[in-house]
Amino acid sequence: MSFINHNEIQSALDQPTPGPDLVRDILARAAELQGLPPDQVALLTRITDPDLLGEIFAAAREVKETIYGRRLVLFAPLYISNRCQNECLYCGFRCGNTDMQRMSLSQEQIADEVRCLTSSGHKRLLLVAGEQEGQDALRSVLDSIETIYACRDEGREIRRVNINIAPLETDGFRRLAKSRIGTYQLFQETYHPKTYARMHPSGPKADYQGRLMTMHRAMQAGINDVGIGVLFGLHDWRYELLALMQHAHELETAFGAGPHTISVPRLEPASGSALAARPPASVSDEDFLKLITILRLAVPYTGIILSTRETPKVRRAAFALGVSQISAGSRTTPGGYGHKDTENNGQFSLGDHRSLDEVIRDIAQLGYIPSFCTACYRLGRTGNDFMDLARPGAIKAHCDPNAVATFQEYLDHFASEETRRVGLNLIETRLQAMSPPVRQTTEGLLARMKAGENDVYC
């Protein structure tokens, strides 16, 4: 049976709007960094009073900075294929979109794309592919991972590959787990069964329950870190938020570790999709920022990922409210980094077209350290080990020094002069704000870099 309990969600959503005292009680509980139960999450979704919303936003900022500090992890998606056998009505890659030029990158072309990304300073990738049949599809993914890691040239390399590909059976996940991946990511898109059936009329993805159980198979196969998410705009965002909580709770109960990340993409226009241009349950900017805020309070230990679907303005607002990872300088089509004329074959439209350097400078000017850190994956701080550090906020003692070190590496080798000036000033400011032990660790890493080392971490 599904662990998504529709009646429980609806009952929580039917609660009356809470008064200020109850809201403040909920925020006091959230400040303890233990998360929130679904009924309290549902109550917060009903708040529209500007003053109370301000208190909720302030609470989310405090929770985020307690656990993650003032840093943002950066990555880029790498699409290796837009061939897909699913008919997802909102997606440019849907099999019925005859206007889409189909392509699957060769290993040589993937290497070219990787070199484009590493030459700009990227260190983390999210490998993305449409759903195709047969063992050859998984073999292609495994070969692509090897190709990505093999592209190394004087400090220009990808240090961690995360994966967003179609569901696998347990044996397939076992093979994937051996390939040095970071997080395996898959979105349910919508947890509402009737909406799901309407949005996915054909293809393997039409199996709601099979997709819902994907993370169980992945974790049973030895993948410690998984990422879940919703495509907001297909159904009521309040329902989806509570369903996400149920999914996270199920993984926590079954495996002792909830999702490593939760993604919050909003439905954006896509070539060949009339539905994407008119979302069935459109989410306003105000509600979008509110749901991110509530999500941070509900699952404080989980990384929240925001993509370049959103405009720079929305992204800036979301940083302080809970987002901890962002994509930058993205392309959503195979070959998009080396060949800009392929952009019309993207999976969806982008809201932020800035380069990596422009995004980094903007982040730094807002007071956030841009981070390319991959230390936790490489030192085995994954799954339960990561959660044991994240829940009490202890992970920040590792994250802050590693973020500064990777930012310094970017400034030394890839940044424009203006970004370097802004970045060096920010590093000095952040050093002054650190506790003595964390500052000592950070300065030790920077001293090793000044002596000629790269890729230092703790």
Q: pLDDT of 150-180, one tens digit each? A: 999 878 999 999 999 999 999 999 999 999 8
Specify the pLDDT at position 400.
92
Distance CA 252, CA 226 (A): 12
Between vectors from CA 41 to CA 35 and to CA 46, what angle results, nearest 5°?
Answer: 150
Which DSSP state fits 19? P
Is there a domain that residue 25 lies in? Answer: no
Is there a domain that residue 58 lies in? Answer: no
Specify the pLDDT at position 345.
62
Specify the pLDDT at position 427.
97
Whether the per-residue pLDDT at 341 is higher than 70: the answer is: no
More confident residue, 198 or 374: 198
148 touches 112 (CB < 8 A): no
Mean pLDDT of the chain: 93
Q: Which helix (H) or strand (E) holds 129?
A: strand 124-129
Q: Is the domain of 194 the same as that of 325?
A: yes
Specify the pLDDT at position 399.
87
Whether the per-residue pLDDT at 188 is higher than 80: the answer is: yes
Q: State which residues form the domain around 137.
A: 66-353
Q: Is the domain of 134 the same as that of 263?
A: yes
Q: Is the domain of 187 the same as that of 230?
A: yes
Give the pLDDT band (50/70/90) at residue 239: very high
Specify the pLDDT at position 340.
63
118-148 pLDDT, tens digit each:
999 999 999 999 998 766 889 999 999 999 9
Q: Is the domain of 386 the same as that of 319?
A: no
Distance CA 360, CA 366 (A): 10
Q: Is the domain of 343 the same as that of 397?
A: no
300 touches 340 (CB < 8 A): no
In degrees and rounded to multiples of 5, residue 371 shows phi and psi of: -125, 140
337 touches 331 (CB < 8 A): yes
Specify the pLDDT at position 381.
78
> How many domains does one find in the chain?
2
Specify the pLDDT at position 197.
97
The percentage of residues in the chain with a pLDDT greater than 90, rounded to a whole number, is 82
Q: Is the domain of 348 the same as that of 385?
A: no
Distance CA 249, CA 338 (A): 41
Is there a domain that residue 425 lies in? Answer: yes
Is there a domain that residue 61 lies in? Answer: no
Whether the per-residue pLDDT at 392 is higher than 70: the answer is: no
Q: What is the CATH number of the domain that holds 343?
A: 3.20.20.70
Closest CA to 34 of 9, 70, 66, 12: 66
Specify the pLDDT at position 3.
94
| Alpha-carbon radius of gyration of the chain | 21
Specify the pLDDT at position 135.
65
Is there a domain that residue 274 lies in? Answer: yes
Q: Is the domain of 76 the same as that of 188?
A: yes
Whether the per-residue pLDDT at 53 is higher than 80: the answer is: yes
Specify the pLDDT at position 338.
87
The sign of the torsion formed by the CA atoms of 7, 9, 14, 16 equals positive
Q: Is the domain of 199 the same as that of 311?
A: yes
Final residue of a structural domain among 289, 319, 353: 353
Is there a domain that residue 153 lies in? Answer: yes
Least confident of 122-126, 293-297, 337-341, 343-347: 343-347
The residue assigned the tokens 């069935």 is 280
Alpha carbon 182 to its chain centroid, in Å, reads 12
377 touches 158 (CB < 8 A): no
Give the pLDDT band (50/70/90) at residue 18: very high
Is there a domain that residue 114 lies in? Answer: yes
192-203 pLDDT, tens digit each:
999 999 999 999
Specify the pLDDT at position 134.
67
One-letter amino acid for residue 263 of the chain: S
Give the pLDDT band (50/70/90) at residue 441: very high
Is there a domain that residue 380 lies in? Answer: yes
Specify the pLDDT at position 303.
93
- How many other CB atoms are there within 10 angstroms of residue 6's CB atom? 16
Q: Is the domain of 170 the same as that of 307?
A: yes
Final residue of a structural domain among 319, 353, 387: 353
Between vectors from CA 327 to CA 325 and to CA 330, what angle results, nearest 5°?
Answer: 175
Mean pLDDT value across residues 437-451: 94
- DSSP structure string for 369-387: EEE---HHHHHT--HHHHH
Specify the pLDDT at position 343.
56
Give the pLDDT band (50/70/90) at residue 385: confident
The residue assigned the tokens 């967003």 is 164
Query: 320: alpha, beta or left, given left = phi > 0 and alpha = psi -120 to 50?
Result: alpha
Give the pLDDT band (50/70/90) at residue 409: very high
Mean pLDDT value across residues 54-76: 94
Whether the per-residue pLDDT at 1 is higher than 60: the answer is: no
360-369 pLDDT, tens digit each:
999 999 999 9
Q: Is the domain of 437 the same as that of 288?
A: no
Tokens of 268: 């954006």
Whether the per-residue pLDDT at 442 is higher than 60: the answer is: yes
Q: Is the domain of 312 the same as that of 396?
A: no
Give the pLDDT band (50/70/90) at residue 344: low
Distance CA 206, CA 198 (A): 9
- DSSP structure string for 436-454: HHHHHHHHHHHHHHHTT--
244 touches 230 (CB < 8 A): yes
Q: Is the domain of 242 the same as that of 386?
A: no
Final residue of a structural domain among 353, 385, 401: 353
Indicate the pTM of the whole model: 0.94
76, 184, 302 from 163: Cα distances, Å = 12, 5, 17
